[in-house]
Amino acid sequence: MRGNCLIAQSGGPTAVINNSLCGILKQALEGNGMGQIYGAKRGIYGMLNGDYLNLANLPRVTWDNLRFSPGAALGSWRYKLTVEEVSCIIEHMRSRDIRYFFYIGGNGSMQVAYMIEQQAKDMGYDLTVIGVPKTVDNDLTGTDHAPGFGSAAKFVATCVLDIAMDIRSLPGSKRVTIVETMGRNAGWLAASSALAGGCESIIPPLIYIPEDPFSTDQFLQDIHVQYGRYGSALAVVSEGIRDHTGRLLAEESIANDPVGRPQLGGVSTYLSQIVNAETGLQARTVLPSIWQRSGMLFSSKRDADEAFQAGKAAVQFARAGKTGVMVSLQRISHHPYKVSYEPVSLQEVAMRERLFPSEWYDRRTRSVDTPFIEYVTPLIQGEVFVPMNNGLPAYNTISFSM
């Protein structure tokens, strides 16, 4: 099948999402059959409105620079599609003879990709659809891990290590530090803070994840014990922690986001207020917020390289006649670390979540066990060397005026 190609980025960006874009571009431009290569402006927005960029016009230097630039270069947009709007997207594709569609995103995006693939079949339109995994939450099923997670994990661990070094400087200050990570339903990022605990001279973080019911009384007890031992306390909490009934902490003050989910963020502030009210200690909060997914200077080279290779694999799958699949990273071995890129059905991935394994979490010590450390350590290896200009990162992006 010959025709044109469309690429879109979706959901929250990561430090390495543009590497997948560049991998698709590089592979699509090599060989025949892909025709024009378009990018959808702002993801679903561009798909709904037929608003595309001709990516073949990009200067080669822009491609190279995108590999060390965070943020989604094509732009993204959070929006809940209807079936009628999916039909509209396909009609826009038909008008441009789009025959290959590559969608970079998380589990919600894989649901959209699956809807598009199924609706195209129902409409009798011959369309190859390939999903490319992306998420800092690492909650995608069907893959050992998702590009974006390794860099975010490295950032969180570095952040906690830096904070712990600062805490160590002022023992007995009656200070409690609460760091809040992303993680709606899965605690992979909060768990990654345990990597900082490998430095024996610092205070090990107490870790709280959404998969384990949160008890405020137990939390305060944990804080008292750690303060008594170290002269300070350090806790890392996922934004989505819940009590034993499944209720989000401070749920009454949480609004919904554009796709109808609770707009998380701020649980650390809620907990700090409790610490201040219930103990003689003083709590402060640290919210890395979107910096977790955009911190390019702390990104993992392995993560960037795997994101790039996942993009290339997507085009290889399409040329091999596969459709309705997502690129999956399958770990072949730990030592030496090695992965293969395999197709997994979009239907198996769409809107499903992979939670943090209960057997890797120690509820007694509020820490994680060795198997997780062995799992995550290879993903944070290597550094991305970002070119600098006048002392600041020389980032690049794509002009929408093309």
Domains of the chain: 4-141+298-352 (3.40.50.450), 149-294 (3.40.50.460)
Whole-number pLDDT of residue 238: 95
Alpha helices in 243-328 (DSSP H): 267-278, 291-294, 301-319
Q: Within 10 A of 320 (CB to CB), how many other CB atoms are there?
A: 8
- Indicate whether 222 pLDDT > 80: yes
Whole-number pLDDT of residue 250: 67
User: Does residue 137 have an active-site annotation?
Assistant: yes
Instruction: Please state the separation of Cα 377 from the chain's center in Å.
Output: 17
Range in 22-31, 113-122, 356-365 the model is least confident about: 22-31
Q: What is residue 170's three-state secondary structure?
A: coil
d(CA 107, CA 111): 6
Whole-number pLDDT of residue 402: 47
Within a 13 Å sphere around the CA of 92, how many CA atoms are in the beta-carbon half?
22
The neighbouring-strand residues paired with 200 are none
DSSP letters spanning 13-77: --TTHHHHHHHHHHHHHSSSS--SEEEETTTHHHHHHT-EEEGGGS-HHHHHHHTT--S-TT---
Backbone angles phi, psi at 329, to 5 degrees: -95, 115
Parallel, antiparallel, or unpaired: how do β-strands 4-9 and 98-105 relate?
A: parallel
Whole-number pLDDT of residue 170: 81
Cα-based distances in Å from 225 to 17, 221, 230, 281? 41, 6, 9, 12
Residue 329: which H helix or E strand, with range?
Answer: strand 325-333
* pLDDT tens by residue, 167-217: 888 877 778 999 999 988 999 999 999 999 776 668 899 999 999 999 999
Angle at 14 (CA atoms; ends 9, 20), nearest 5 degrees: 55
Specify burial of residue 86 (Cβ count, 10 A radius: 0-12, 13-18, 19+). buried
Whole-number pLDDT of residue 255: 47
Parallel, antiparallel, or unpaired: how do β-strands 128-133 and 367-368 relate?
A: unpaired
Is omega for the bond preceding 336 within 30 degrees of 0, making it cis?
yes
- Indicate whether 253 pLDDT > 90: no
Q: Within 10 A of 286 (CB to CB), how many other CB atoms are there?
A: 17
* pLDDT tens by residue, 309-319: 999 999 999 99
Give the residue, 247 or 377, on which the prediction is more confident.
377
Angle at 384 (CA atoms; ends 355, 184), nearest 5 degrees: 20
Question: Stretch 255-259: mean pLDDT, rounded?
Answer: 49
Question: Stretch 257-261: mean pLDDT, rounded?
Answer: 50
Q: Are 67 and 95 in contact (CB under 8 A)?
A: no
Whole-number pLDDT of residue 184: 86
What percentage of the chain exceeds 90 in pLDDT? 78
Catalytic residue among 51, 64, 97, 137: 137
Residues 6+ away with beta carbon under 8 Å from 14: 70, 134, 135, 136, 147, 148, 151, 152, 293, 294, 307
Whole-number pLDDT of residue 38: 96
